[in-house]
């Protein structure tokens, strides 16, 4: 429970990482991107994710946090290990609750996919796909994905540290940070509702969604941020609205996830964009 709450808080803060990146929509990602080059991609990753999910009750939460940590420019930089002269994002103080199981779910997917179509699928796309599979396993409907992201070659711990919001940031600050990334207050509430997935089992997941507002009211807020969102006049109506209609919440959550996962991506091969062979290290230079 304590773990789940800590995880959920990290999820909220991870949302705001990379907050200073310039924002720009791209339309180059495609749902059929791997249809010819890796037709078994989705079925393969569905299997590896299922296996991971049945063996870990924190993996869905862990992976969702990794997605938010990485996206707003999803390039799998969050997966890179530190090298002797560079401390990676993963090793920043704030990564403490990025769960090892979440990283492992992506590593396992990558290993399986390299077996069937070597050198074809980026780690950045796998993060997106594994996240979707785990959300389905946690009891939510399937949604469509768009692919074609490339992996970055840099990851710096100070990027994560500099952009982390303070624990006591006000809702106004949260709204401003999201607005800087072209997300409305409503989209922000929809995304933050995703931390309910931290309770990976279906029944608890549903309980949290159905009882979102009553839980916040009765228990003084599972998260400080929940409490604040419930109280703030600009976010309260959305919290109430999503609490009353979970299919509406899920629909908006998926739309905001997709928006986040397609902004600032690298999709043109170049000096800082490649398909990593091992998600933890950049490819050796030829």
Binding-site entries for substrate: 165
For ligand NAG, the closer CB: 42 or 104:
104
**Chosen residue from 162, 179, 248, 281 binding ligand NAG by CB under 6 A:** 248
Is residue 90 a contact point for ligand NAG (CB under 6 A)? yes
To the nearest 10°, the Cα dihedral for 52, 53, 58, 64?
90
Nearest to 226 by CA among 208, 247, 200: 208
Min CB(270)–ligand NAG separation in Å? 28
User: Binding site for heme b: what residues are annotated?
Assistant: 195
What is the rounded distance in angstroms from the CA atom of residue 67 to the CA atom of residue 70? Answer: 5
Q: For residues 49 and 62, is the Cβ–Cβ distance under 8 A?
A: no
Report helix, strand or coil for 148.
coil
Min CB(37)–ligand NAG separation in Å? 30
Is residue 22 a contact point for ligand NAG (CB under 6 A)? no
Is residue 283 a contact point for ligand NAG (CB under 6 A)? no
Residue by residue, DSSP assigns 23-62 as: --B----BTTTTTTT-TTHHHHHHHHHHHHHHH-SSHHHH
Q: Catalytic one among 60, 62, 65, 69? A: 69
| Helices of type H across the chain | 2-14, 41-55, 59-70, 100-116, 123-137, 157-163, 171-180, 185-192, 202-210, 212-219, 224-231, 236-244, 246-262
Active site residue 201: no
Is residue 96 a contact point for ligand NAG (CB under 6 A)? yes
User: Binding site for Ca(2+): what residues are annotated?
Assistant: 70, 73, 75, 77, 89, 196
Task: Name the closest residue to ligand NAG (Cβ).
Answer: 248
For ligand NAG, the closer CB: 42 or 204:
204
**Chosen residue from 54, 180, 245, 283 binding ligand NAG by CB under 6 A:** 245
Structure tokens at 64: 């969702």
**Chosen residue from 27, 43, 93, 268 binding ligand NAG by CB under 6 A:** 93
The footprint of ligand NAG on this chain (CB under 6 A) covers a number of residues equal to 15
**Contact pattern from residue 97 through residue 136 relative to ligand NAG, giving x for each residue in contact according to CB under 6 A and a dash for the rest:** ---x--x---------------------------------
Q: For residues 67 and 131, is the Cβ–Cβ distance under 8 A?
A: yes
* Contact set for ligand NAG, span 142-201 (CB under 6 A): none
Min CB(128)–ligand NAG separation in Å? 19
**Chosen residue from 13, 56, 77, 95 binding ligand NAG by CB under 6 A:** 95
Report helix, strand or coil for 279.
coil
Pick left, alpha or beta for residue 158 (phi over 0 → left; psi -120 to 50 → alpha; otherwise beta): alpha
What is the rounded distance in angstroms from the CA atom of residue 137 to the CA atom of residue 175? Answer: 30
Report helix, strand or coil for 151.
strand
Chain positions contacting ligand NAG, by CB under 6 A: 90-91, 93, 95-96, 100, 103, 207, 210-211, 214, 245, 247-248, 251
Q: Catalytic residue positions? A: 69
């Amino acid at each position: 429970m304590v773990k789940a709450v800590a995880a959920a808080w990290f999820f909220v803060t991870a949302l705001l990482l990379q907050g200073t990146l310039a924002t720009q929509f791209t339309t180059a990602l495609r749902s059929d991107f791997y249809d010819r080059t890796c037709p078994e991609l989705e079925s393969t990753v569905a299997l590896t994710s299922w296996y991971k999910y049945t063996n870990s009750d924190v993996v869905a939460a862990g992976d969702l946090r990794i997605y938010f940590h990485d996206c707003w420019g999803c390039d799998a930089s969050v997966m890179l290990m530190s090298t002797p002269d560079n401390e990676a994002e993963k090793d920043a103080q704030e990564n403490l609750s990025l769960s090892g199981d979440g990283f492992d779910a992506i590593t396992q997917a990558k290993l399986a996919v390299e077996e069937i179509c070597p050198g074809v699928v980026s780690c950045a796309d796998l993060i997106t796909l594994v996240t979707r599979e785990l959300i389905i396993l946690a009891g939510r409907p399937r949604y469509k994905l768009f692919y074609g992201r490339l992996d970055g070659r840099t990851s710096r711990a100070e990027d994560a540290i500099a952009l982390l919001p303070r624990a006591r940031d006000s809702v106004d600050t949260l709204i401003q940070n999201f607005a800087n990334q072209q997300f409305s207050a409503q989209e922000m509430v929809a995304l933050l509702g995703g931390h309910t997935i931290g309770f990976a089992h279906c029944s608890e997941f549903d309980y949290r969604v159905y009882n979102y507002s009553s839980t916040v009211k009765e228990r003084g807020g599972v998260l400080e941020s929940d409490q604040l969102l419930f109280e703030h006049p600009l976010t309260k109506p959305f919290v109430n609205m999503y609490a009353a209609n979970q299919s509406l919440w899920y629909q908006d959550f998926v739309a905001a996830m997709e928006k986040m996962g397609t902004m600032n991506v690298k999709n043109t091969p170049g000096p800082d964009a490649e398909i990593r062979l091992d998600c933890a290290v950049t490819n050796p230079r030829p």
